[in-house]
Structure 1
Amino acid sequence: MSAGITSEARLVARTIALVSDLRAYPAEVSWVEFKENNKDPQLIGKLISALSNAARLADQSFAYLVWGVRDGDHAAVGTTFQPSVEMQNNQPLELWLAQRVQPSINFTFEPIDYHGVRLVLLKIPAAPSSPVEFDRTAFIRIGSATPRLSDYPERLRALWAKLQPYVWESGLAAQFLSGDEVLARLNYAAYFDLTGQPLPDNRAGIFERLSTDRIVQRDVGGHWNITNLGAVLFAKALADFSPSIARKAVRFVAYDGASRADTVIHRQDEQRGYAAGFQGLIDYIDGLLPRNEFIGKAFREDRPLYPSIAIRELIANALIHQDMTVTGTGPLVELFADRMEITNPGQPLVSPERFLDSPPRSRNEALAALMRRMRLCEEQGTGIDKVIASVEMHQLPAPDFRTEGNAVRVVLFGPRRFAEMSPEERVRACYQHAALRYVSGQKMNNSTLRERLGIESQNASQASIIIRQALDGRLILPADPEHPRAGYVPFWAGSRP
């Protein structure tokens, strides 16, 4: 496509390509529907509701209804439907529909000249904040049927689960504030510093950039709102906002023993927003960690007991993956005499066993995207890889990723000799080592596992026992069953091509 093409022509070309992609599906998917000439207003209204809700469930930004495409074979046959001239109850069709669709969504009808055939495309945004209803009833698309959403409670629950994070991030932490009040509550200088943007020399420029990243939004009468996203990231003091925001502060607690019943020797509730206070929190924790003496080639140096990169990545993960809709609690970091535990509220989106290899997913996409942009967490979801790699380099026991109640907990263990590790800990280290090797394009074998666990070569049988236990637990698989010396891979590698 030439550089001189007009924006209008580019839009037309994109629309034609979109229709071609939709026609290429072997069957109608839940968020796409084809019609020829059916222009029943009641049916169109139900389909707007059903397709919008289905799009949100399918993680699609839009749903589509196309007239002029035959349902059976998706052939482009053309249509006589003209939405711009259709009337219902003495009202233009589009207005009549808009009055009956709640919450209001910006659906649009678009006539298309598709390779000489006239089509009509209805573009429907995915449900934004609550299930989309038509005439006070929400619908859903299941196969070729359009039943009421309330008749399928499992889909209704799944839809709300998709909608709640969206609602939270775009919700309002404070409303109808003057410009001075906004700047007094937010560390806007940290926003510009962390995003690598020069600080504008006027207030209009500051608010333009903050609103672009949805930190604030314009309210009526020349006033402003601070979004939940803006407050939780850049608050000067989270306590200045409602309890639902204030309780999201990161808590740090250090004990003088291995139990929560032991004496608390340090406690800090980080009142700054996550982005504004992140480095300060990491530095504070690092300053409290026990140190080990490391002798290099020429110098002695003190190193923290736990790898700094592991702590940084795990705390960042706890911030961005927490379920913000769980009230009354936020991320918690606890330091014991023999371990560190990092807990965030909410069930994980993927199984803890798959944290290492799964593509990055977050309930809080805007928060995660902005923190990645500010380089406070990993861009490509490699944070857990770095955690496990750094743990192996420090010869520490394998971290434990687990679900406890309605929370995710990660445990980093202090140094422990191989003889002091439990069978479960040894097998967990074997699995994580195999997974880390696999994502690095390598295979685990007896030799690499011995090096990982500090087993001397004359005790190779000990590594063989651990490998057998991991095989029996279906955590690893032979890389090539016909060639035992080919090494081992994690259990999920067997499902990949």
Structure 2
Amino acid sequence: MQITPNTLQQLISQGENSQVEFKSEAVAREITAFANYQGGILLIGVEDDGTISGVSKPNMEEWLVNITRHNIIPALNLQTSAIEMQGKTVFAVKIPKGVDKPYQTIDGKYWIRAGSTNRTATKEELSVHFDIAPIANTSLKDLDLNSIGDYYQTYYDIPFADLESTEQENILHNADIFTQHEGQTVTTVGGLLLFGKQPQRRLPQAAITFAVFKGTDITAELIDKKEITGTLPELIDKTVSLVQLFLPVSSSIEGNQRKENILIPHKVVREAIVNAVAHRDYSISQRKITVYLFQDRLEMTSPGNLPNTLTLDKIRYGNSAPRNMFLVKYLDNMRYFDGLGRGIPMIIKAMGDKVAFEEIGVLFKLKFYL
């Protein structure tokens, strides 16, 4: 990164903002905050009032490398340059928008930019916008253009397939399906989840594990097991179909005829699975959604605590604070839900005391008793 004295002076004259900060020398939390936000430039050797104080540490570049390797988790790669001004040395540090969010300082604190200052945040808060985070080394070839074309034709009456490539890319950028990462145009997490070709190649945690047990716990005999892959709409449709296929049906005799009783209504199964794929925390890379059918219950486990200020009590009454706003918007457009927070109240109304919700560590679990 080359910053001339003239460019440096312009940055200083603009003052501190969400992407520029002046600092004497302690920098770990500032670097972490920028990485957890949109990236930015840290000017070391400039005081808060814009006065050039210069750096005092020898081997400044080596010092910064040590900080980013040992004081920030996970480690970061930075670009640095030294600029001479007023007989003093200022270090300009370019911090990229992090691809392995969330980042924390060695004392376990997560920092984020708030205007021209930094503040601490929870890991859950930082994962709220993960669905529009970039996926490195992806491009247009990772997206299914036919699927995107069908979406824009169906919901916006835009003939996407007939547009010039530059117009297509402009739409994808504005729609947050594309974003910039280290000077390259790449797909976002949400773009790949909704319109990607084999999205689990890049995001293996986005698969769903489906299993049927001949018993009441996972040590029982395994009847069937499947790894469900595809885009989020495909995950929803495939998983709902599998649950309906294996879900037992009770029957009773009314008069001279047998009446079949659906143990879990189709709309309840569908709503639960839509919620699981729309609201899970995709930044948790080591866990997948699981859908297990036991002899006495259907159990769905989704990675991620309830986001923001939601609690188990609040969701019962229609309170909603979506983690993945991008995914929610698109799944709403695709008619998978209406975004009004009615899903959980509807499930409770349909199932009564045969439904239970719980949080276990970073997992949200939903149980339907048969």
- TM surpasses 0.5: yes
1:158 aligns with 2:104: no
Equivalent residues in 2 for 1:440-479, closer than 5 Å? none
What is the SS of the residue equivalent to 2:226? strand
What is the SS of the residue equivalent to 1:359? coil
What is the SS of the residue equivalent to 2:160? coil
- Could you tell me which residue of structure 2 aligns to residue 170 of structure 1? 132
Structure 1, gaps ≥5 residues long: 1-88, 106-125, 138-149, 415-497
Post-superposition CA distance 1:394-452 (Å, at most 9, x none): xxx331111112211011101xxxxxxxxxxxxxxxxxxxxxxxxxxxxxxxxxxxxxx
Asked if structure 1 preserves the Cα contact closer than 8 Å seen for 2:210 and 2:291, the reply is yes
Post-superposition CA distance 1:142-167 (Å, at most 9, x none): xxxxxxxx99958754265433332x
Asked if structure 2 preserves the Cα contact closer than 8 Å seen for 1:401 and 1:409, the reply is yes
Shift in Å, 1:341 = 0.8
Q: CA RMSD for the aligned pairs?
A: 4.0
What is the SS of the residue equivalent to 2:243? helix
What is the SS of the residue equivalent to 2:317? coil
1:238 aligns with 2:199: yes
1:376 to 336, 342, 350: 336
CA distance in 1, matches of 2:9, 2:146: 45
1:311 to 265, 269, 275: 269
Distance 1:157 1:261, change over 3 A: farther
Post-superposition CA distance 1:8-37 (Å, at most 9, x none): xxxxxxxxxxxxxxxxxxxxxxxxxxxxxx
- Could you tell me which residue of structure 1 aligns to residue 365 of structure 2? 409
Asked if structure 1 preserves the Cα contact closer than 8 Å seen for 2:20 and 2:43, the reply is no
Asked if structure 2 preserves the Cα contact closer than 8 Å seen for 1:101 and 1:132, the reply is no
CA distance in 2, matches of 1:296, 1:197: 50
- Could you tell me which residue of structure 1 aligns to residue 315 of structure 2? 355
1:103 to 11, 16, 19: 19
CA distance in 2, matches of 1:375, 1:296: 37
Asked if structure 2 preserves the Cα contact closer than 8 Å seen for 1:234 and 1:275, the reply is no
Post-superposition CA distance 1:212-259 (Å, at most 9, x none): 3222247899x8422111112233322332xxx112212211111111
Asked if structure 1 preserves the Cα contact closer than 8 Å seen for 2:132 and 2:177, the reply is no
Larger Rg: 1
1:342 aligns with 2:250: no
- Could you tell me which residue of structure 2 aligns to residue 398 of structure 1? 354
Structure 2, gaps ≥5 residues long: 22-33, 46-104, 112-118
Q: State the percentage of identical aligned residues.
A: 19
Asked if structure 2 preserves the Cα contact closer than 8 Å seen for 1:101 and 1:134, the reply is no
What is the SS of the residue equivalent to 2:206? coil
Distance 1:101 1:240, change over 3 A: same
CA distance in 1, matches of 2:159, 2:261: 37
Equivalent residues in 2 for 1:261-340, closer than 5 Å? 261-293=219-251, 302-340=260-298
- Could you tell me which residue of structure 1 aligns to residue 74 of structure 2? none
Query: Normalization by structure 2: what TM-score?
Result: 0.63
Shift in Å, 1:389 = 1.2
CA distance in 1, matches of 2:333, 2:292: 28
What is the SS of the residue equivalent to 1:375? coil
Q: Which has the higher strand share?
A: 2
Distance 1:296 1:376, change over 3 A: farther
What is the SS of the residue equivalent to 1:239? helix
- Could you tell me which residue of structure 1 aligns to residue 25 of structure 2? none
Distance 1:102 1:391, change over 3 A: closer
Letter in 2 for 1:413: Y
What is the SS of the residue equivalent to 1:172? coil
CA distance in 1, matches of 2:209, 2:279: 16
- Could you tell me which residue of structure 2 aligns to residue 215 of structure 1? 177
Greater relative contact order structure (CA < 8 Å, 6+ sep): 2
CA distance in 2, matches of 1:277, 1:193: 22
CA distance in 2, matches of 1:261, 1:165: 35
Distance 1:302 1:248, change over 3 A: same
CA distance in 1, matches of 2:242, 2:159: 28
CA distance in 1, matches of 2:191, 2:41: 30
Asked if structure 2 preserves the Cα contact closer than 8 Å seen for 1:191 and 1:234, the reply is no
Distance 1:152 1:343, change over 3 A: closer
Post-superposition CA distance 1:270-298 (Å, at most 9, x none): 21011243223212221221123478999
